[in-house]
């Protein structure tokens, strides 16, 4: 990729500066790679060599991503317009480059044949990327919803288990107080650990969703203000970034981060045995052997 030499934030008209004048830039010409004031832009528009050039308001051009701005329209070696793309070398080339360095290359294409021009400078490549981003955003949103659901589910299950533990606690002797407390601490620790792991996944998904939104915003500005050539070359960078988004989300999935986590509690078999063995807290016995009163029978005496 060929980079521009001009500063993307340059605020003064290049032509005026060559005449030792400082006039604020109002327009940017991608073909000339120069910022122009209002007067120079007028001359630029009526000049035979540049009247076909499409200039962009400087405030709009500043919205274009920096890597798009760095895509030049002109060959640094021959100072000719970059009209061709060599698939073998994955590089742009002008007509002189084509003759001097790409004679043997079989896959050289005329760039304009693969661009889809429109008033908004849209391209098929960007439309495809936007479709992928839309699907990715839907998938992330759906997964985020599921992760939030799992958080609620785990917390509800924790509450249910806590209640079951208390119910079981009521069935056994008070000597098991310490065991009950230990089990409650364990389920809380497990719930905290795995809820934290889900929350970490949510943070990662939110970050990927934010990146998707950023790319969508950049694509919108590119569609409106970047040139066809810049769109053509910049699409590859967008594709790489989107591919990274997809890879990151797929990696989370492959690592089991979207697996549904479920807690359940199993009690010690000895507890059930103890409950079965202790049928009552005690037995009621009647002892009728002891007498606290003695009758006296006068007749017998």
Q: How far from chain centre, in Å, is Cα 297? A: 104
90 and 37 together in one domain: no
Name which residue leads in pLDDT, 181 or 255: 255
Mean pLDDT is lowest, of 7-16, 103-112, 285-294, for 285-294
d(CA 255, CA 276): 44
Q: Which CATH number fits the domain that encloses residue 46?
A: 4.10.830
**Cβ contacts of residue 242 below 8 Å, gap of 6+?**
129, 132, 133, 136, 215
Structural domain containing residue 166: 124-275
**Structural domain tally of the chain?**
3
The pLDDT tens digits of the residues spanning 201-257 come to 999 999 999 999 999 999 999 989 888 888 888 888 999 999 999 999 999 999 999
d(CA 156, CA 160): 6
148 and 81 together in one domain: no
Query: Does a structural domain hold residue 205?
Result: yes
Query: Does a structural domain hold residue 224?
Result: yes
Q: Which CATH number fits the domain that encloses residue 90?
A: 3.30.160.60
179 and 58 together in one domain: no
Query: Does a structural domain hold residue 248?
Result: yes
Query: Does a structural domain hold residue 134?
Result: yes
Query: Does a structural domain hold residue 245?
Result: yes
193 and 223 together in one domain: yes
User: Which run of H or E residues covers position 180?
Assistant: helix 177-225
Scanning the structure block, which residue is given the tokens 């760039």? 111
d(CA 66, CA 49): 27
Task: Of 124, 121, 20, 131, give the one whose Cα is nearest residue 61.
Answer: 121
87 and 200 together in one domain: no
Per the CB < 8 A criterion, the answer to whether 222 and 126 are in contact is yes
134 and 266 together in one domain: yes
């Amino acid at each position: 990729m060929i980079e521009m030499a001009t500063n993307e934030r340059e605020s003064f008209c290049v032509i005026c500066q060559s005449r030792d004048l400082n006039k604020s830039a109002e327009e940017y010409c991608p073909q000339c790679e120069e910022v122009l004031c209002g007067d120079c832009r007028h001359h630029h528009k009526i000049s035979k060599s540049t009247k076909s050039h499409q200039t962009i308001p400087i405030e709009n051009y500043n919205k274009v991503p920096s890597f798009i701005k760095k895509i030049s329209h002109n060959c640094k070696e021959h100072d000719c317009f970059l009209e061709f793309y060599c698939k073998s070398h994955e590089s742009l080339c002008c007509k002189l480059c084509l003759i001097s360095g790409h004679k043997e290359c079989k896959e050289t294409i005329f760039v304009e044949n693969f661009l889809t021009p429109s008033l908004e400078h849209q391209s098929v490549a960007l439309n495809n990327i936007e479709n992928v981003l839309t699907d990715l955003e839907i998938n992330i949103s759906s997964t985020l919803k599921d992760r939030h659901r799992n958080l609620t589910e785990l917390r509800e299950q924790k509450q249910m288990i806590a209640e079951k533990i208390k119910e079981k606690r009521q069935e056994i002797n008070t000597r098991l107080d310490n065991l009950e407390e230990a089990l409650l601490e364990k389920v809380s620790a497990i719930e905290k650990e795995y809820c934290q792991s889900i929350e970490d996944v949510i943070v990662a998904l939110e970050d990927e969703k934010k990146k998707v939104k950023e790319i969508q915003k950049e694509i919108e500005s590119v569609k409106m203000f970047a040139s066809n050539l810049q769109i053509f070359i910049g699409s590859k960078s967008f594709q790489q970034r989107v591919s990274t988004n997809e890879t990151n989300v797929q990696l989370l999935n492959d690592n089991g981060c979207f697996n549904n986590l479920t807690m359940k509690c199993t009690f010690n078999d000895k507890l059930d045995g103890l409950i079965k063995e202790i049928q009552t807290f005690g037995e009621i016995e009647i002892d009728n052997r002891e007498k606290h009163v003695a009758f006296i029978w006068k007749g017998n005496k």
